[in-house]
Amino acid sequence: MLAKVRGRAAYAVIVLLLLLVMLAPFEWFLARYTTLMIFIGLNTMLTVGLCLLMGYTGQVSLGHAAFFGIGAYFSAILSKTYDVNPWLAMGIGAAATGAFAYVISYPIFRLRGNYLAMATLGLGLIIYILFRELGDYTGGPDGMYGIPYLSAGGFVFDTPFKRYFLVWGLCLAMLLISQNIVRSRSGRALRAIHGSEAAAESVGINSAQFKMKIFVLSAVYASLAGSLFVHHLRFVGPQPFGFLASVMVVVMAVVGGLASVWGAIFGAAAIRILSDKVLLEFGELDLIVYGLILMVVMIFLPQGLFVGLKEGYARLRLRYVRREAEP
Amino acid sequence: MAGVTSGSIYALVGLGFTVIYSVTGIINFAQGEFVMLGGMISYIILDSTGLPTVPALLLTIAVVATVGAVLYLMAIRSARKASVVSLIIITIGASVFIRGVAGEIWTRDYVRPPYFSGDESLSFLGAYIQPQALWIIGTTVAAMIVLQVFLTYTVMGKALRACAINRAAAGLVGIDARVMALISFSLAAAFGALGGVVVAPLTTTSYSVGVMMGLKGFVAAAIGGFRSPFAAFVGGITIGIVESLAVAIDWGPFSSAYKDAIALVVLLLILLVRSGRLAAEERVG
């Protein structure tokens, strides 16, 4: 009974959320936040990949911004310098990022825990340094301007209003795919891996293969987000792909909840609003605040803020329902 | 020579990683921030109070050791049963937090504390060398010896080693693992700060140097296999020399910019070469 009610409530929340997302950019509603919402959508794509990776495989990536960057630079360089169709460039970028993640996942998933985190941190920094130093291709620290808009037939995504629907359409598709993975056999396998890798393998789950799939999927998500990012800003520079950018994704995942697909929206929205609308007023306190969030949430709600609050609420309700049931 | 100098600093950072990891099983991702704090605080004290060099430096190290202790008490100890992932995120959070505080209350510019003994190069067998480089190498060697003596001959040092060998058994003979963890964090912070204090006059420092320092110190500790301080020392010198050799080779127009990337490539190679053993250790620990 309780599960049914909770299930129905969850659907209601999702429908309301969808409605909000669909109506937000219209003039009579939240149009002045369209750009902010586009960034929230892009960040959600990054975050949901990392949530899957951290929550369902128990591994941390501290270099996630690198995949975001690879997608971004592929799109920028191919579509501007080589005049490739932007959609094709985006596809090539995603395929290349996926292939790259696939290749490095072999050596990297021989590591785990601390060493895996350190390796991804190192890898992320190497890729960042390449973005900065391969100036002939990437424009170096100054970046590249004048990247074309995406277009379909005669329809050009030249206003934030149009791009908003593109970004959120893709974002919701990614969330649904992730949701399906989590609720399928693969999802149960992943949870088993998180619980105990040895036990999972003993019942015939190929843990290395599952981890690899999630890793590649999250890399492709990040790459697509990166492509949309450059076609939105029409500019790319190395700055949004460094160490702190990777940490930001971790902050969003931690706020959203590590094993939660829909929490990713919450995490991305909370941090994006915090950084764009609140912290800007107070100068440069962002690092202090992000550091505090990471520490406090992990100490008190290790499953993540959103999930932690949700579980706390469910516990309270259960207690209430039980009390009602007693005569 | 430049390799040995920078290698000494990596060794001091690696020493910190090794001490904390062997006593608590935690990799402290905020280790590099102790180096940053050492450099920045020594600059602030020397610049604003006019204290003589030696007391100012000792004060700096004491302050940073306290930061290490506070980090343990506030963040690590409250999350005692946390998973590896939580601990990684907590120490990353601490790292970002410390960096943010430093950038906010001091300055975001590069600063350079004064040299310990002038900046006139000494000539030695026809080669010129900065006196500060001698200070760096001398301090590192001295710190190594002091640490080794501390670990071998004092009761507290022996207790630390006991904890590193077998935490449960150490507990049985009355060694409080939490006290030992506290000491290991302070020690690691002090060594990091020492590195920051001696290197800052030579290379300048800023609020953002921590990440790179931490990574290179981690490489040093990983080369040494997180076993003994001496192994971390050898690891530090090795990575320093590799780095300076790699910079000396002409890589075309970007040579010096790739210096950091080289250390990172070494990091990945070391991790992969050692992956089998590290994974086995992680499962046991």
Q: Give, for all 327 residues of chain A, the pLDDT tens digit.
A: 444 555 677 777 777 877 777 777 776 776 677 788 888 888 999 999 898 888 777 788 888 899 999 998 988 888 888 878 888 888 898 999 999 999 988 888 778 778 888 888 888 988 998 888 887 777 777 878 877 777 777 777 777 777 888 888 888 888 888 888 878 877 777 777 777 777 877 777 777 778 888 889 999 999 999 888 888 888 888 888 888 889 889 999 888 887 778 888 888 888 888 887 777 666 667 888 888 888 888 888 888 888 788 788 888 888 887 777 765
Q: pLDDT tens-digit profile of B167-185?
A: 788 888 888 888 888 989 9
Q: CA A305, CA A266: separation in Å to the nearest integer?
A: 10
Q: How many CB atoms lie within 10 A of CB A47?
A: 34
**For residue B122, what is the enclosing H or E element?**
strand B122-124
What DSSP character marks residue B74?
A: I
Q: Of chain B residues 192-211, which have a CB less than 8 A from chain A?
A: 211
Q: pLDDT tens-digit profile of B145-161?
A: 888 888 888 888 888 88
Token duo for residue A49: 């990949």
Rounded to whole angstroms, what are the CA distances from B131 to A156, A226, B39, B61, B123? 64, 48, 18, 21, 10
Distance between A5 CA and the closest CA of chain B, angstroms: 32
Q: Say yes or no: B106 contacts chain A, CB-CB below 8 A.
A: no
Q: CA A280, CA A235: separation in Å to the nearest integer?
A: 22
Answer yes or no: are the C-beta atoms of B38 and B190 closer than 8 Å: no
- Cβ distance B282 to A286 less than 8 Å, yes or no, reads no
Residue B36 is predicted with a pLDDT of 92
Domain ranges of chain B: 2-241
- Cβ distance A107 to B272 less than 8 Å, yes or no, reads yes
Evaluate the CA torsion angle A210, A216, A220, A223 in order and state its sign: positive
Scanning the structure block, which residue is given the tokens 């300048």? B204
Q: pLDDT tens-digit profile of B5-24?
A: 888 889 989 988 888 888 88
B93 neighbourhood in chain A, CB within 8 Å: 290-295, 298
∠ Cα B144 B146 B121 (to 5°): 60
- Cα atoms found within 13 Å of the Cα of residue B196, Cβ hemisphere only: 38
Q: Please state, rounded to an integer, the average pLDDT across all residues of chain B.
A: 82
∠ Cα B159 B164 B169 (to 5°): 70
Token duo for residue A72: 């971004």
Query: Could you say which of A113, A125, A299 has the minimum Cβ distance to residue B90?
Result: A299
A298 neighbourhood in chain B, CB within 8 Å: 79, 82, 86, 89-90, 93
- Cβ distance B104 to A284 less than 8 Å, yes or no, reads yes
Residue B285 is predicted with a pLDDT of 41
Residue A221 is predicted with a pLDDT of 92
Backbone phi, psi, residue B205, to 5°: -145, 165
Q: CA A23, CA B182: separation in Å to the nearest integer?
A: 54
Residue A2 is predicted with a pLDDT of 46
Q: CA B209, CA B150: separation in Å to the nearest integer?
A: 30
Q: CA A221, CA A171: separation in Å to the nearest integer?
A: 9
Rounded to whole angstroms, what are the CA distances from A9 to A177, A180, A255, A314? 21, 19, 22, 12
Query: Could you say which of B85, B260, B282 has the minimum Cβ distance to residue A58?
Result: B85
Q: Say yes or no: B105 contacts chain A, CB-CB below 8 A.
A: no
Distance between B214 CA and the closest CA of chain A, angstroms: 10
Distance between A123 CA and the closest CA of chain B, angstroms: 7
pLDDT cut 90: percent of chain B above it:
13
Query: Could you say which of A285, A293, A298 has the minimum Cβ distance to residue B86?
Result: A298
Residue B181 is predicted with a pLDDT of 87
- Cβ distance A126 to B79 less than 8 Å, yes or no, reads no
In a 3-state reduction of DSSP, which class is residue B123?
strand
Query: Could you say which of A113, A285, A289 has the minimum Cβ distance to residue B84?
Result: A113
Residue B189 has pLDDT above 90, yes or no: yes
Residue B278 — very low, low, confident or very high, per pLDDT cuts 50/70/90? low
Q: How many CB atoms lie within 10 A of CB B172?
A: 9
Of residues A256, A320, A324, A259, the one with CA closest to residue A294? A256
Q: CA B195, CA B141: separation in Å to the nearest integer?
A: 12
A293 neighbourhood in chain B, CB within 8 Å: 93
Rounded to whole angstroms, what are the CA distances from A58 to A245, A303, B83? 21, 11, 9
Query: Could you say which of A107, A247, A302 has the minimum Cβ distance to residue B96?
Result: A247
Distance between B136 CA and the closest CA of chain A, angstroms: 26
In a 3-state reduction of DSSP, which class is residue B205?
strand
Partnered with residue A144 across adjacent β-strands are A236
Residue B282 has pLDDT above 60, yes or no: no
Please, which residues have CB within 8 angstroms of residue B12's CB and are 6 or more apart in sequence?
B35, B140, B143, B191, B192, B194, B195, B217, B236
Residue B245 is predicted with a pLDDT of 81
Interface with B, mutate which of A112, A290, A298 (most B CBs under 10 A): A298
Partnered with residue A152 across adjacent β-strands are A155
Interface size A-B, in CB pairs within 8 Å, comes to: 145
Taking CB atoms within 8 Å and a gap of at least 24, the contacts of B184-187 are B184/B19, B184/B20, B184/B22, B184/B23, B184/B24, B184/B160, B185/B20, B185/B28, B185/B68, B185/B69, B185/B71, B185/B72, B185/B76, B186/B65, B186/B66, B186/B68, B186/B69, B186/B72, B187/B16, B187/B19, B187/B65, B187/B68, B187/B147
Q: CA B181, CA B22: separation in Å to the nearest integer?
A: 10
- Cβ distance B264 to A125 less than 8 Å, yes or no, reads yes
What type of residue sits at position A76? A
Residue B257 — very low, low, confident or very high, per pLDDT cuts 50/70/90? low
Residue B254 has pLDDT above 60, yes or no: no
What DSSP character marks residue B119?
A: S
Burial of A136: CB neighbours in 10 Å, binned 0-12, 13-18, 19+: exposed
Residue B255 has pLDDT above 60, yes or no: no
What DSSP character marks residue B73?
A: I
Q: Say yes or no: B30 contacts chain A, CB-CB below 8 A.
A: no
Q: Say yes or no: B82 contacts chain A, CB-CB below 8 A.
A: yes
Q: CA B23, CA B179: separation in Å to the nearest integer?
A: 11
**Better-predicted residue by pLDDT, B164 or A2:** B164
Query: Could you say which of A60, A129, A289 has the minimum Cβ distance to residue B89?
Result: A60
